């Protein structure tokens, strides 16, 4: 009976989205086997040319050590404004897809610079039917990080939620508000861009259950980083993590309906639908396309450096 009771207790905890056991520990060269490089046209119409893994390695756009993985954009090539090919960069997608899970991202550096549009997100099939969760996203070094859901029609968020960030639009439908989704603007300056990098990065974590989706951020030197996050333990308990930075409850959004199994995507594009549309108001020089084309050295800091990704299910 004790064995059955213990099993039921574990099942109950998992169903509540509180206690999880690690299923993937991705470090260094593991990224090359756990992710696939996507040499595809940019869906956001950026001034970018995504390359395959062999090309990325040959051009030093990706490299790994025993405890670090880097993916970056080209920072040496001047491009003609009339060229149909943008700046070489990378887009990778996890080979596994996840439903109920926790993902913890230990990040030392994220891309920065005028014209940049870095993103770390989870994406389902047949967009937007399978859902999208933007965990890290911003443009042109502006402001703090924005966490956003994008869905098919019918998923909305309540005005009042328990989170430390500031809610933006409440309708997650991609067909309204120019596909702005239902976003939450984070509070700490260190959550994005140059301030994040100067502070040595930090941890982002996502929890997804049928009850909702939550995202946390902790700066590298924060005193409230949970022990299981900081040390990468084999189990995590989200009940000990405090108030999320952003939370999206299932109150008026059936998570299992609007979100299929999602893959993790990491990419860096330039200009495009968002970074390009607000470029002129960002205090950046020239036009977005010309700046990206003509100033390769401006993108020496346009890279992601991951210490690890831990997935718990």
Task: Identify whether 137 is a catalytic site residue.
Answer: yes
* Active-site annotation holder among 132, 163, 207, 313: 132
Residue 141 CA to residue 138 CA, distance in Å, equals 7
Structure-block tokens of residue 153: 């029609």
Q: How far apart are CA 230 and CA 221, in angstroms?
A: 11
- Rounded to 5 degrees, φ, ψ at 165 are -85, 180
Is residue 35 within 8 Å of 56, Cβ to Cβ?
no
Would you state the torsion angle of the CA atoms of residues 125, 130, 136, 141, taken in this order, to the nearest 10 degrees? 80
Q: Residue 249: CA atoms inside 13 Å, Cβ hemisphere, count?
A: 8
Q: Identify the active-site residue in 122, 137, 163, 207.
A: 137
Residue 105 to residue 134: CA distance in whole angstroms = 13
Q: Output the CA torsion sign for 277, 282, 286, 290.
A: negative
- Spatial separation of the C-alpha atoms in residues 42 and 46, rounded to whole Å: 6
Enzyme catalytic residues: 132, 137
């Amino acid at each position: 009976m004790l064995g059955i009771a213990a099993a039921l207790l574990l099942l109950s905890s998992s169903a509540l989205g509180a206690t999880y056991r690690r299923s993937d520990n991705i470090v260094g060269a593991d990224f090359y086997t756990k992710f696939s490089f996507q040499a595809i046209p940019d869906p956001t119409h950026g001034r970018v040319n995504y390359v395959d893994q062999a090309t990325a390695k040959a051009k030093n756009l990706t490299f790994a050590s025993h405890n670090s993985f880097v993916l970056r954009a080209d920072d040496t090539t001047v491009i003609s404004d009339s060229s149909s090919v943008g700046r070489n960069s990378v887009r990778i997608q996890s080979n596994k897809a996840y439903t109920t899970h926790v993902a913890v991202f230990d990040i030392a550096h994220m891309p920065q610079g005028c014209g940049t549009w870095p993103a770390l997100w989870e994406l389902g099939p047949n967009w937007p039917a399978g859902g999208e969760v933007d965990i890290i996203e911003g443009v042109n070094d502006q402001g703090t990080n924005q966490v956003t859901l994008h869905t098919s029609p019918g998923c909305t968020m309540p005005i009042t939620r328990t989170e430390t960030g500031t809610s933006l639009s409440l309708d997650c439908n991609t067909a309204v508000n120019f596909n702005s989704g239902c976003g939450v603007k984070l509070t700490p300056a260190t959550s994005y861009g140059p301030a994040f990098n100067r502070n040595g990065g930090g941890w982002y974590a996502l929890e997804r259950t049928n009850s909702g989706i939550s995202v946390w951020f902790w700066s590298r030197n924060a005193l409230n980083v949970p022990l299981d996050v900081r040390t990468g333990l084999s189990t995590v308990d989200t009940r000990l993590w405090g108030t999320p930075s952003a939370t999206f409850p299932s109150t008026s959004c059936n998570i299992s309906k609007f979100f299929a199994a999602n893959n993790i995507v990491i990419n860096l594009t330039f200009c495009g639908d968002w970074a390009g549309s607000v470029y002129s108001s960002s205090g950046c020089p020239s036009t977005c396309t010309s700046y990206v084309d003509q100033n390769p050295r401006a993108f020496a800091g346009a890279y992601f450096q991951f210490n690890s990704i831990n997935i718990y299910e």
